Amino acid sequence: MTQCMPFQKVKTFRSEKYKAWVKEQDCCRCLAPADDPHHLIGIGNMGGTGTKAPDSMIMPMCRKCHNEIHAQPELWPDQWEHIARTIKKAFEAGVIEVV
């Protein structure tokens, strides 16, 4: 009989430096000054209710657009595109790097 390994929770990536940089960008929806980074909905610690996604999965948003994306689930599919653009821009700016 094989023994199952206990589930080990993965530590969620958090970065105040990256979040501060994201806040300095323009809103990814309306191009207004972004002051309210939005964590990708639906992958909080790779699933689960009430869990927040890692900081690597944030996009720059103003408060108005942030409220709209939470109020209108049909806007959620566009999140991945905005996340990809934000990460690409951060790599190009040297804010994050592969180690």
**Is 23 part of any domain?**
yes
Structural domain boundaries, residue 42 = 16-90
**Is 11 part of any domain?**
no
**Is 34 part of any domain?**
yes
Listed as own residue / partner, the contacts of 84-89 with beta carbons closer than 8 Å and 24 or more positions apart are 85/28, 85/59, 86/22, 86/25, 86/28, 86/58, 86/59, 86/60, 87/56, 89/25
- What is the pLDDT at residue 45? 47
**Is 68 part of any domain?**
yes
**Is 99 part of any domain?**
no
**Is 24 part of any domain?**
yes
pLDDT in tens, 45-94: 444 455 678 888 899 999 999 999 889 878 778 888 999 999 999 999 99
pLDDT at 37 over 60: yes
As for how many domains the chain has, the answer is 1
**Is 39 part of any domain?**
yes
Task: State the pTM of this model.
Answer: 0.74
**Is 70 part of any domain?**
yes
